[in-house]
Amino acid sequence: MGRGLNAAALFAACIGLAVCIRPATAQLQSNQIRFLYEEPKKADYRPIRERLQKRKVLETLQQFLAPLKLPRPLTVKIGECGEPFAPHQPGDSVTICYEFISLLEKLQPGPNDYGSVGQVLVTPKIALVGPFVQEALHDVALGVFDMLEIPVWGRAEDAADHVAAFLMLQFGTDVARKTVLGTAYFLNRLDNTLRNGGNLLPYDLAYIGGIRPTVRQRYYNILCMAIGSDPVSFAAFVRSATTITDVPEWRCLPRPGEASREYAQVKDAFIKTILDPYVDPELLKKVNATPWLKDD
């Protein structure tokens, strides 16, 4: 794995969620990354807070982000937002919403059941882990864009989705497939629910004037990034585009021997705007030497 991808993998792995990561054990303290599990007002969210605190999700995130060189502290919070996808507020903090995690649980397959994206099966664990990882990476990316004053052409929400998708694809083939597949399952299920009149959200995410792309666009975007990075591993999503879960071949599939332009652009931008100027190589080595992932 190249220098840029190795660093991206470490940055991505920091948000592996409770079922993917072990509680933080390394002594990699960062004064630039702070965290907070806010006390929710709604009683339904208190068990979520307890589970995340027990697994030390934000503590582990803090240690993995230690190599980032920031001009001032960034606080990562899990808090009550009033909606699953609260708009990002410029400043020195980002918030992952309890409402979002609650929504994930509502759209999960049953504990003894499988979900699917097209003909690909999805376990309940994958359906929870994948979209949580994507949302956390998305939110942290927005905070980093603000703090480091990284120029973004177009909507910052699109750029954050691209960064999140790129980073998830650096986990290694097995974990990348699971996180991408889980995210695709969630977005496909959410889009279908909204189209069929489901009342899961306080506003319509499919509204084309929203600050984020539509749910179906986000679904295609993440899978297109995955296919561009590894067309063999993600070939199951490229068919004739006869159903809504199929990704159009003409958009995403690179020609043999060629790189995907969409994927390559994001990779190049990440290395130039974040990795090279804002990652401490010595701390990165310490993070790399730490056994973060569970063995089971």
Tell me, what's the pLDDT at 78?
Answer: 96
More confident residue, 134 or 246: 134
**Is the confidence at residue 162, as pLDDT, over 60?**
yes
> How would residue 43 be classed by pLDDT, with cut points 50, 70 and 90?
very high
Q: Is 220 within the bounds of a domain? A: yes
Out of 137-151, 156-170, 271-285, least confident range: 271-285
Tell me, what's the pLDDT at 289?
Answer: 64
* Cα-based distances in Å from 288 to 6, 252, 285: 9, 32, 5
Q: Is 284 within the bounds of a domain? A: no
| Domain count for the chain | 1
Tell me, what's the pLDDT at 40?
Answer: 95
Range of the domain at 272: 3-279
Query: What is the pTM for the complete model shown?
Result: 0.84
**Is the confidence at residue 275, as pLDDT, over 80?**
yes
Tell me, what's the pLDDT at 32?
Answer: 84
Q: Which percentage of the chain shows pLDDT scores above 70?
A: 79
**Is the confidence at residue 196, as pLDDT, over 90?**
no
Tell me, what's the pLDDT at 290?
Answer: 63
- Chain length of the chain: 296
Alpha carbon dihedral 208, 211, 216, 218, in 10-degree steps, equals: 150
Tokens of 120: 């690909």
Across the chain, how many H-helices and E-strands are there?
12, 5
Tell me, what's the pLDDT at 98?
Answer: 96
More confident residue, 227 or 256: 227
Q: Is 286 within the bounds of a domain? A: no
Tell me, what's the pLDDT at 258?
Answer: 72
Q: Is 74 within the bounds of a domain? A: yes
Mean pLDDT in residue range 182-210: 74
Q: Is 105 within the bounds of a domain? A: yes
Mean pLDDT in residue range 106-121: 88
Residue 35 phi/psi, 5° resolution?
-140, 160
Q: How many CB atoms lie within 10 A of CB 49?
A: 18
The 3-state DSSP class for residue 56 equals coil
Please name every residue paired with 117 in a beta bridge, in sequence order, or none if there are none: 120
How far is residue 242's CA from residue 190's CA, in Å, rounded to a whole number? 20
**Is the confidence at residue 11, as pLDDT, over 70?**
no
Mean pLDDT in residue range 243-272: 81
The 3-state DSSP class for residue 183 equals helix
DSSP line for 205-270: TT-TTSSSPPHHHHHHHHHHHHHHH-TTTTGGGBS-S-STTSBPHHHH-PPTT---HHHHHHHHHH
Q: Is 287 within the bounds of a domain? A: no
Mean pLDDT score of the chain, rounded to an integer?
Answer: 81
Tell me, what's the pLDDT at 27?
Answer: 57
Tell me, what's the pLDDT at 201?
Answer: 62
Q: Is 219 within the bounds of a domain? A: yes
Of 33-42, 110-119, 223-232, 280-289, where does the model show the most confidence? 33-42
Out of 55-59, 175-179, 204-208, 264-268, least confident range: 204-208
Q: Is 285 within the bounds of a domain? A: no
> How would residue 249 be classed by pLDDT, with cut points 50, 70 and 90?
confident
How far is residue 296's CA from residue 294's CA, in Å, rounded to a whole number? 5
